[in-house]
Amino acid sequence: MNTHFTRIGAMALLAALTWTSTASAQIAVKGKVVHTMAGEPIRNGVVVIADGKITAVGPAATTPIPDGMRVLEAEVVTPGLIDAHSTVGLSGILNYAHDQDQLERSAPVQPELRAIDAYNAQEALVDWVRSFGITTVHTGHAPGELISGQTMIVKTFGKTVEDAVIVETATVAATLNSTARKTGKGKSPGTRGKMMAMLRQEFIKAGEYVKKREAAEADKKPDRNLKLDVLSRVLARELPLMITVNRAQDIASALRLAREFNLKIILDSAAESYLLIDEIKQAGVPVLVHPPMMRAFGELENMTFETAAKLKKAGIPVALQSGYESYVPKTRVVLFEAGIAAANGLSFGEALGLITIDAAGILGVADRVGSLEVGKDGDVALFDGDPFEYTSHCIGVIGEGQIVSDIKR
């Protein structure tokens, strides 16, 4: 946040932008500063996009723009931003029951619930986050049940979920905190011990299910079980188990579960992760840190603005997320959260990395998004100043070569 830019060219860009489904796929973006996230920032840089992919990136003086290309200009250009964990598209912008599909409360263990079946590509909240430069979101079922369902990775544009999806099933979402514990006689799980026992039991069942199906003759295999099908993929390390957890003792339990069943896990939220840096690093587990501006109460009472910086300094893969909130508008904006992280122990580039290339790496989509490099998707965010400054605006968003937002935010 130590770089400031003048607001020149913003109005010219806004006048030029037109978002339609038939917008030109041949487009070039000039920026006084281009943060490629694949090297040092380029002063007076150019990003050339053809047929949805980046075809050239470099200084304007040495990077020719083909004749006939539409040219946009901005003070600062970045890759399209990535929200490493959200419920956008499942949770609606308002508190109406008909657009709240992020959490099913009928059972504590429901890994079979698919995010793709609940995602609404035209939800207003998707449009809202896109207008701030966010082009990729890891979204799905919210924390709140022991295993609440699956997550997916989508672009924030496209008329249908099929248009938007990058990864249909990205993780299975689990919760090891108080939101997944039940109260009242006969309800379960009610304690930490019960939560861990139930998870172990489900993975044991999944292992036995796999063995029975593998050993049985083709015409005598056990009936398919959607729940165990999904958990067997977690056991096989085909899918990560993303565990929402905040207390240090619960983080330790998550790491123990991963060791016991040789699971690939991702720690989500992880407010007290700074207390177990050595253990997390030794386990080789990435962390999707809670939004720095989350309310510091309950299990987040010991949170700090510096968690991302501490994890990053230790060499732990880390990204920022918008998270889930039960009140309107259901999500935060990672652009602003990264700004807070930049003011608390991270450089500008490190903070931008948390919502671009670092997030892409953890989510396994760095071959397509997260940086401005030849061959990657033409997802670009345009700003009229330092993206982390409060007075700056996102003035345009390009998704796979199409102008997908022309709103000044």
Structural domains of the chain, ranges and CATH numbers in brackets: 10-79+373-405 (2.30.40.10), 82-175+235-363 (3.20.20.140)
Indicate the Cα dihedral angle 105, 109, 115, 117, nearest 10°. -70
Closest CA to 234 of 272, 260, 252: 260
Residue 25: pLDDT band (50, 70, 90) is low
Q: In this structure, are residues 381 and 397 in contact, taking their beta carbons and an 8 Å threshold?
A: yes
What are 314-348's pLDDT values in tens digits? 999 999 999 988 777 778 999 999 999 999 999 99
pLDDT at 201: 98
Closest CA to 136 of 160, 114, 105, 158: 158
Place of tokens 């600062």: 76
CA distance 268 to 171: 11
CA distance 309 to 306: 5
Phi then psi dihedrals of residue 345, to 5 deg? 105, -5
Phi then psi dihedrals of residue 358, to 5 deg? -65, -45
Residue 40: pLDDT band (50, 70, 90) is very high
CA distance 293 to 287: 17
Residue 99: pLDDT band (50, 70, 90) is confident
Q: In this structure, are residues 88 and 122 in contact, taking their beta carbons and an 8 Å threshold?
A: no
Closest CA to 142 of 97, 103, 91: 103
Closest CA to 86 of 99, 97, 102: 102
What are 207-231's pLDDT values in tens digits? 999 999 999 988 788 899 999 999 9
pLDDT at 326: 77
E strands, 335-407, where? 380-383, 394-399, 402-405
Closest CA to 392 of 351, 339, 350, 347: 339
Instruction: Count other Cβ atoms within 10 Å, centred on residue 132.
Output: 22
CA distance readout (Å), 26 to 141, 226, 283: 36, 44, 45
**311: CB partners within 8 A, 6+ apart:** 273, 274, 277, 280, 287, 289, 318
Residue 15 host element (H or E): helix 10-16
Q: In this structure, are residues 28 and 69 in contact, taking their beta carbons and an 8 Å threshold?
A: yes
Quote the tokens at residue 314: 């230790």
**348: CB partners within 8 A, 6+ apart:** 1, 2, 3, 342, 386, 388
What are 147-206's pLDDT values in tens digits? 999 999 999 999 999 999 999 999 999 999 999 999 888 899 999 999 999 999 999 999
- What is the mean pLDDT of the segment spanning 286-311? 96
Q: What is the pTM of this model?
A: 0.93
CA distance 222 to 206: 12
Residue 302 amino acid letter = N
Place of tokens 């040789």: 262
pLDDT at 95: 77
What is the DSSP-derived secondary structure letter of residue 90? T
Measure the CA angle with vertex 333, ends 178 and 311; round to 5°.
Answer: 65
Query: Which three-class secondary structure state does DSSP give residue 36?
Result: coil
1 vs 372, higher pLDDT: 372
- What is the mean pLDDT of the segment spanning 110-126? 97
Q: In this structure, are residues 29 and 57 in contact, taking their beta carbons and an 8 Å threshold?
A: no
User: Cis (ω within 30 of 0) for the bond into 291?
Assistant: no
**99-121 exposure pattern, b = at least 16 Cβ within 10 A, e = fewer:** bbbbbeeeebbbbbbbbbebbbb
pLDDT at 76: 98
Please check the confidence at residue 259 and state whether its pLDDT lies above 80: yes
Residue 368: pLDDT band (50, 70, 90) is very high
Please check the confidence at residue 45 and state whether its pLDDT lies above 50: yes
CA distance 36 to 385: 16
Please check the confidence at residue 17 and state whether its pLDDT lies above 90: no
Closest CA to 272 of 292, 309, 246: 246
pLDDT at 20: 40
Rounded to a whole number, what is the distance in angstroms from the first to the last CA of the chain?
A: 18
Residue 393: pLDDT band (50, 70, 90) is very high
pLDDT at 185: 84
